[in-house]
A and B are shown apart, each in its own frame.
Chain A
C-alpha cells in the first residue's frame, strides 16, 4: 500500500537535528551495504542476529530468507546505489553541512523505506 511520505521539505529546526539525521543516514546506509553484501553470502554464514531477523519475515510464496534478500537487492539495487553515492559525495565534502535539508530528509526516508520493506515492518519501526 502506498505510504504518504512525511513532509520532506520541512527545514531542520537546528543544526543538531540535522546532524542527528545525518548520523541516522550513515547508519542506515551502512545497514543497506551490509545487507547487499549478505545477499551474496549463504544464509548459514549470516550473523545470527541478522539471520533471525530476516528469517522472521513470513513468506507466503515459500521462498527462503536468502532468496527473498536476493530479490530485494535486485529490485532496489539502483535506490541503494544512489543512496551510497549521495552519502559518499556528501561525506567527501564535509558531511551534513553540504546537503540541503530536503535532500537529507529524502535520503533518510528512502533508506527507511528500503529497510522497512525488507523487514516487512512499518517505516517508524525501522531501528535507528
Chain B
C-alpha cells in the first residue's frame, strides 16, 4: 500500500523528534525512579507484612533458618520465590523490561521445584546408566563373534 509506514518505523521517526525524545527520556527516568521506590528485598516485604521469619517458616513448612537463607540467597529457584511470596499472601509476577521502555509480563506455566529438578536428574542418570549398559552389551556381542571375524580376516590374508 502506498504511503504505508510500519508502527515501528513510525515510532522511531517520532522518537527522533527532539521534543518527543526529551519527553520520552523524562518519562523513562520517572518510571525508573518509581520502580526503584517499589523495589524491596524479600526481608523488607516480609517486614511490611508484619511477619517474622519463624511465622513465614511455619506457613512454608520450613525452619526460620531456611527462611533466612532464602532471604539472603543471591540466586533462587523461581518456585522458591513464588512459595515465599504466596506464604505472605501475595502472587509472584515477572516482568521483562527493555532499554527502549517496552515491558512485558512473563507467564511461566510450570515452575519447577528443586525436588522436580532432583527427580529429573535421577531419571536422567538412570537413563544414561541404561545407555552405558546397552552400549557395553554390544561390546559383549563383539567378544562373542571376534573369533569368527578374526578367522575370516586371516583367511583372506592367506588367499
Residues of A within 8 A of B (CB): 2-3, 5, 8, 59-61, 68, 71-72, 75-76, 78-79, 82-83, 85-86, 88-90, 92-93, 98-100, 103, 106-107, 109-110, 113-114, 117
The A-B contact count (CB < 8 A) is 82
Option from A61, A76, A103, A107 in Cβ contact (under 8 Å) with B149? A76
Q: Is the interface of A mostly helix, strand, loop or mixed?
A: helix
Q: Judge whether A75 and B152 touch: CB under 8 Å.
A: yes
Binding site for A on B (CB under 8 A): 125, 128-129, 131-136, 138-143, 146-147, 149-154, 156-159
The complex places the Cα of A60 from the Cα of B155 at a distance, in Å, of 10
Provide 30 A-B residue pairs closer than 8 Å at the C-beta atoms, listed in order of the A residue. A2-B147, A2-B151, A3-B147, A59-B157, A60-B158, A61-B157, A61-B159, A68-B157, A71-B153, A71-B156, A76-B153, A79-B149, A82-B135, A82-B142, A85-B138, A86-B139, A88-B135, A89-B134, A89-B135, A90-B136, A93-B131, A93-B132, A98-B129, A103-B136, A103-B139, A110-B139, A113-B150, A114-B146, A117-B153, A117-B154
